[in-house]
Chains A and B, each alone.
Chain A
Amino acid sequence: MTTFKYSRFVSVLALLVGCLSLPGFGGLAPQEELLTTTAEPGRPGGRLAIGEPFEPKTLNPLNAVDQPSLDVIRRTMADLIHINRATLKAEPALAKSWTATPDGKTLTLQLRRGIRFSDGAPFDADDVVFSFQVYLDEKVAAPQRVLLLIDDKPIKVEKLGQYTVRFSFSAPYAVGERVFDSVPVLPRHLLEKEYQEGRIKQVWTLSASPASMAGLGPFRLKSVAPGERVVLERNPYYWKVDSKGQRLPYLDELSFVMVPNTEAQVIRFMAGDIQAISPLSADGYASLAPDQQKHHYKLYDMGAGLEFNFLFFNLNEDTEGRLPEVARKQAWFRDVRFRQAVSRAIDRQAIARLAYHNRATPLVTHVTPGDKLWFDSSLAAPSQSLPEARRLLQQAGFSWKPDGALVDSHGTRVSFSILANSGNAQQTQSATLIQSDLSKLGMDVHVVTLEFRATVDRILQSHDYDVAVMRMANGDADPNPVMGILTSEGSTHVWSMGEKKPPQWQLEIDRLMQQQMITLDFRKRKKLYDQVQQILAREVPALFLVSPNILVAARENLANVRPAIMDNYILWNSDELFWRTPAGK
């Protein structure tokens, strides 16, 4: 009871202070509807510096696609309904509650009253309507737009009251509320003019002044040192309080320090320049692990995340006859027994052990064991079995020369190359291990490493490759974001782009994926998605290899560290992080 009174008292006080300091926005502001968190209450103060491998490119959510920019923007901005990174469930954020109609076509959101942007300006439904107008504008070409298209038609947004907004979908949508995650609300009072003048994508660059920016996230911009660091400071108007009634966040400052490679991050962490690494590489984990107690830091291994590494065969139809060499090899790749044989020949355990220091989990499909809601536990990662692989090859009409070389039914030596990204050491090592495994089957395999964009160009544009390894991450623990990879029409259906005559099983995947999208009941959706996973495991259009574990390092006395498997693993609850002892030492 007492805590309740206390928190009321504090919020009233905060409100008073808010009104006093900003008379311009004063007047009849409603009572602030704050969100009370359940995490361990902490002590305010201190700063946290975290390493980023690249400089954030922009502070504008309409341009941001790179991870460092998103890391920063997700601290300075907030969304209506948020996916809790720990439970992977949708939970209230700027919308305090919502109701869906039974047909799954509309969603009505009640917004938090009386809360303010980081510059003190009040927030209401107009900001929400404005934000979605911008995101849905075709001319703006915001990365969020495609998320807000259901069945290729944009979501409709209506203001029902100062704090009520209704969203309507053109078709029933299974996970309507998940759509709002990572679609930050923009401040209308700052951006409306720029939007009307068509300059909204040119604002909020790294050289923008902090005064020109505002958001609803726990932090706000303080300063940028080009190429060096981005410093955020505590947002005094943030809309969360802890169970003791203290307003979050606790940290006074959060800075993102540019450290060009992950190895250097380890060194800077050891020297104390940065206090957390997220994500930490498996190599980094191995080198930091021995000294945990001595140097007062803690390493976290959260198991498999949502990232998956996979190998796929080039099954693109070469209609113009541009690539006769590839077309010749596709005769092998199109035979499911050949693909299965390759899958059985690969030692996934060895990849996890040698390329990832045992901090990775072998996979059977793109759904990792870390995705606990959707993982089909009846499927197990295939174990290496060379006799089984030989049997499959024999069935498919392959045979062996006396010197052990594998030849197809026409007597042609089985020979192909594996394309890998040279910027990713683990991927190159995986490819080398696979090369060695396959040579035991008598295949003549070569590893070819190219720089990232050259690799992507071959995979997506020219289709001039045999087999490739790649990594992708599922943006959310939900089947919808992988539509682009799994369906034959998808824009990232890498192994066969824009398929004209998909095989039967691919049509089945397309159907199941479409159906799960409009199914509302979780158990029915899960059943549909399980079927998709089983087809993938059987037909192996792509061979899923391993999922690297989520690894994080942080100083020992940084409290409330609860690494998640999504987004920024450690910063997702940056508003709750605090230093147990002063000065962060």
Chain B
Amino acid sequence: MIRYFGRRLFHAVLVLFGVSLLMFLVQQAAPGDFLSEMRLNPQISPQALHTLRAQYGLDQPLPLRYAHWLSFVARGEFGYSFAYDMPASKLLWPRARNTLLLTVPALLISWLIAVPLGVLAAAQRGTWLGRLFSGGTSFLLAVPDVLLALLALMIALRTGLFPVGGMRSADPSHGRLADLAWHMVLPVGTLVLGSLPVILRHVRAAVSETLSSCYVRAAEGHGLRQLPLLFRHALPAAANPLISLFGISIAFLLSVSLLVETVMSWPGMGPLLLESILARDLFVVLGATMLSTLFPLAGNLIADVLLYGFDPRIRMEP
């Protein structure tokens, strides 16, 4: 067991290492650097730019800079933000927290809805209810996420029921937590609508596959009632691919979240990542990517733990 997870952990580190290396190479190839914008500013002299280049270490060769960054990481830091002139971790942690504030509830809600609904849809396949399900999910899948977010904003603006962006009011009237929850409704709702159809489809597919397998048919033949059959036999049998999907769905939600945050001005990692990519604020980009790699990896790890508990066959693997 420990060996198995040790290996997993090692893989995670390997992936993070690969990502950081690739990011460094890309940064080298991307046109312009952090100082490009300042070059256009007539107030900043070439000498000052030269000094800044040296200060930020932009004049050093790539391997040296990478080694420098690794030494930062070894100390539990993410490097330094050129734009904000402060440690990148100070920028990243509060925003990562805000992003999780959206994605974790969205993840739980969409799975809580998707599993029962998906199982029912699988059982009702071929009936009008099943067709309604698949039609509904297909439609939701086809609507772009940006459009969903924009529509949510329009509804909020027209009805005045929900805030049209941001995370907190200037002076919350119903207590801080209630205010936060009120601000979370729309972004979380959009995330759920965006991720639900994908998860739902996979749940339905996985369950309907087990439904067609012989032992479920056998159970059916023995006269088991439908609901217990579905939830006690078909669902556990389908658990294996679903648990793997859980890990993937975290990554998926995270990527949709980055978009929703930007549209709804939620102070999460999305706006920061976008801004720092455009500003070539290398270490912030790197840190944000590391974090958004870390979360799905953690999700995968959790999924693996679950799978380990669930599926004895995995334990056989070296």
A residues near B (Cβ < 8 Å) are 47, 49, 54-55, 57-58, 60, 63, 65-66, 138-139, 141-147, 149, 201-202, 205-207, 225-229, 255, 257-260, 264, 267-268, 270-271, 273, 423, 451-454, 456-458, 460-462, 472, 475, 481-485, 490-492
Contact = CB atoms under 8 A, between A and B. Distances in A.
A267 B157 contact: yes
A453 B37 contact: yes
Task: Point out which of B46, B278, B280 has the most chain A C-beta atoms below 10 A from its C-beta.
Answer: B278
B31 A453 contact: yes
5 contacts: A268-B164, A457-B31, A461-B32, A462-B31, A492-B39
B135 interface: no
Contacts of A457: 31-32, 36
Given A57-B83, A271-B160, A460 B39 contact: yes
B213 interface: no
A492 B42 contact: yes
Contacts of A456: 32, 36-37, 39-40
A205 B164 contact: no
A227 B98 contact: yes
Top 4 closest A-B pairs, CB basis?
A227-B267, A453-B32, A484-B42, A457-B32
A143 B39 contact: no
A461 B49 CA distance: 14
A48 to B, nearest CB: 10
Task: Point out which of A229, A255, A260 has the most chain B C-beta atoms below 10 A from its C-beta.
Answer: A260
B268 interface: yes
B2 interface: no
A327 to B, nearest CB: 21
A49 B36 CA distance: 31
A145 B164 contact: no
A225 B42 contact: no
B44 A228 contact: no
Given A205-B84, A492-B42, A267 B153 contact: yes
Interface residues of B, number: 54
Contacts of B38: 65, 143
B226 interface: no
Nearest to B277: A451
Nearest to A493: B42
B84 A485 contact: no
Task: Point out which of B32, B153, B264 has the most chain A C-beta atoms below 10 A from its C-beta.
Answer: B32
Given A143-B43, A491-B42, A228 B267 contact: yes
A63 B43 CA distance: 12
B55 A141 contact: yes
A207 B42 contact: no
Interface string B165-180: 1111110000000000
A139 B280 contact: no
Contacts of B153: 267
Contacts of A227: 94-95, 98, 267-268, 271-272
B42 A49 contact: no
Nearest to B42: A484
Contacts of A484: 42
Contacts of B170: 47, 49, 229, 255, 273
Contact of A145 (B41, B48, B279): B48
Contacts of A229: 170
B155 to A, nearest CB: 12
Contacts of A149: 45
Nearest to B51: A141
B47 interface: yes
A145 B275 CA distance: 27
B315 interface: no
Contacts of B267: 225-228, 258
Nearest to B83: A57
Nearest to A146: B45
B29 to A, nearest CB: 11
Given A63-B85, A205-B85, A267-B153, A228 B280 contact: no
A452 B278 contact: yes
A138 B51 contact: yes
Nearest to B91: A226
B85 A58 contact: yes
Given A138-B51, A226-B91, 13 more contacts: A54-B275, A58-B85, A143-B41, A144-B43, A146-B43, A149-B45, A226-B94, A227-B94, A264-B263, A271-B164, A453-B278, A457-B36, A460-B36
Contact of B41 (A49, A65, A461): A65
B103 interface: no
A485 B39 CA distance: 12
B291 to A, nearest CB: 14
Contact of A206 (B44, B84, B156, B157): B84
B90 interface: yes
B118 interface: no
Contacts of A49: 170
Nearest to B263: A264
B210 interface: no
Task: Point out which of B44, B51, B90, B274 has the most chain A C-beta atoms below 10 A from its C-beta.
Answer: B44
Contacts of B94: 226-227
Contacts of B280: 453
B262 interface: yes
Nearest to A259: B265
B143 interface: no
A145 B49 CA distance: 12
Nearest to B50: A141
Contact of B85 (A201, A483, A490): A201
Contacts of A142: 48
